[in-house]
Amino acid sequence: MKTMEPTTAPPAAAPDVKTMTLIEAITQGLHEEMERDERIFLIGEDIASYGGVFKATRGLYEKFGPLRVIDSPISENFLVQGMVGAAIVGLIPSPEIQFDDFISLAVDGIVEHAAKMRYRSGGMFTCPMVIRCCCGAAVGGGLFHSQFNASWFMHAPGLVVVAPSNPYDAKGLLKSAFRGQNPVLYYEHKRLYRTVKGPVPQHDYTVPLGKASVVREGSHVTVVSYALMLQRSLEAAEKLAAEGIEVEVIDLRTLAPYDKETILASVEKTARAVVVYESSRTMGVGAEIGAMIAEDGFSFLDAPVRRVSPPDAPQEPFAPVLADQYLPDANRIAQAIRDTVAY
């Protein structure tokens, strides 16, 4: 099986590179794409003069005006259903779902219309749109401001689902999303907005959709993850390196369609796999990845595929002492890796 080359950000000291937070990279990506293509417009709750609840659209209203940065009614259903219409007549809308917890109100538009538009019309119509969605736990948001529901939409053929873990990928994946012909769900983990920094080129570049990245090479075990859990998996890998366990870490970047080739090439090398994900354990993102490895990579394995995830609970509790037990941390991930290597 072919070994995939690592795909990484440029060194911070490279020319024309700036260290940015993840949210700064997203804002810059939106700015550049709106300058590049006048068909692109943004719409969402409080995104115009207020700049969005997390300020991801700060400055864009002043730059592009009220026809391209639009405050919407508080209606996630309208945000998607209306933008499907805009997309099929030639515009490229980017609705913002303020919190993933409220995306259930837009599921009909996303799954039944946007995802199926190309298929149902025999290719006569496409539905290019980028649905930006703020998501994720570990910020004290409680039951209705902490959800990460990406696994719901991995079940819907026709959708591209993206979840970056760092500023370089955040900008590059966003730009690729705007340049395709498919509806893209672009997940932004709010815990990462200002806690992760990294080098971001100031020139035009893209990161391909559907291509994972080997962000840390190792020989003893493969860890597959994305978004916040990717960062915690890297922290666990650093801990284990001191114990002589070399962990290869793969950042999925795109959850649907995900990169089977890169995952299987790594598992062929390491013979062990751990999948770390932020969704319910049962039928979550990692359940699919684990099943694929067991089905297509069984002959490589020296140990069962292990999943590390939150429990099958409705969502992160608000009480801090309970919230701390909900999401896997680096210590919990590290112990799962130790157990897999020792099997």
CA angle (177 as vertex; 88, 234 as ends), nearest 5: 150
The DSSP string of 217-266 is: --SSEEEEE-HHHHHHHHHHHHHHHTTT--EEEEE--EEET--HHHHHHH
Residue 273 has pLDDT above 50, yes or no: yes
> How confident is the model over 52-60, as a mean pLDDT?
97
Give the residue, 8 or 138, on which the prediction is more confident: 138
| Four-CA torsion 48, 54, 55, 61, nearest 10 degrees | -10
Residues 224 and 152 reside in one and the same domain: no
**Based on the structure, what is the number of domains in the chain?**
2
Residues 183 and 223 reside in one and the same domain: no
Domain membership flag for residue 57: yes
Domain membership flag for residue 171: yes
pLDDT confidence of residue 10:
67
Residues 222 and 150 reside in one and the same domain: no
Q: Measured in whole angstroms, how far is the alpha carbon of residue 325 from the centre of its chain?
A: 23
Residue 276, SS3? Answer: strand
Residues 65 and 154 reside in one and the same domain: yes
Residues 102 and 217 reside in one and the same domain: no
> How confident is the model over 4-29, as a mean pLDDT?
80
Residue 90 CA: distances (Å) to CA of 56, 64, 113, 127:
25, 19, 16, 9
Domain membership flag for residue 4: no
Residue 109 has pLDDT above 90, yes or no: yes
Residues 183 and 328 reside in one and the same domain: no
Domain membership flag for residue 78: yes
Residues 188 and 235 reside in one and the same domain: no
> How confident is the model over 270-284, as a mean pLDDT?
95
Residues 249 and 167 reside in one and the same domain: no
Domain membership flag for residue 182: yes
Of the pLDDT bands very low, low, confident and very high (cuts 50, 70, 90), residue 5 is: very low
| Four-CA torsion 117, 182, 259, 18, nearest 10 degrees | -160
Residue 25 CA: distances (Å) to CA of 67, 111, 145:
23, 28, 23
The domain that holds 56 is classified in CATH as 3.40.50.970
φ, ψ for residue 165, nearest 5 deg: -115, -10
Residue 1 has pLDDT above 60, yes or no: no
Computed over every residue of the chain, the mean pLDDT equals 94
Query: By mean pLDDT, which of 32-36, 219-223, 300-304, 312-316 is the weakest?
Result: 312-316
The domain that holds 306 is classified in CATH as 3.40.50.920
pLDDT confidence of residue 315:
86
Residue 4 has pLDDT above 90, yes or no: no
Residue 189 has pLDDT above 70, yes or no: yes
pTM of the model: 0.94
pLDDT digits (tens, 9 = 90+) for 120-165: 999 999 999 999 999 999 988 888 999 999 999 999 999 999 999 9
Residues 178 and 57 reside in one and the same domain: yes
pLDDT confidence of residue 199:
97
- State how far the Cα of 282 lies from the Cα of 294, in Å rounded to an integer: 16
Residues 189 and 238 reside in one and the same domain: no
Residue 6 has pLDDT above 50, yes or no: no
Domain membership flag for residue 206: no
Residues 55 and 167 reside in one and the same domain: yes
Residues 175 and 258 reside in one and the same domain: no
> How confident is the model over 5-20, as a mean pLDDT?
72
pLDDT confidence of residue 324:
87
Query: By mean pLDDT, which of 77-86, 164-173, 311-320 is the weakest?
Result: 311-320
Domain membership flag for residue 106: yes
Range(s) of the domain holding residue 262: 213-342
- State how far the Cα of 221 lies from the Cα of 206, in Å rounded to an integer: 29
Q: Just list the catalytic residues.
A: 145
Of the pLDDT bands very low, low, confident and very high (cuts 50, 70, 90), residue 15 is: confident
pLDDT confidence of residue 2:
38
pLDDT confidence of residue 278:
96
pLDDT digits (tens, 9 = 90+) for 235-271: 999 999 999 999 999 999 999 999 999 999 999 999 9
Domain membership flag for residue 322: yes
Of 201, 230, 249, which residue is a domain's last? 201
pLDDT confidence of residue 293:
98
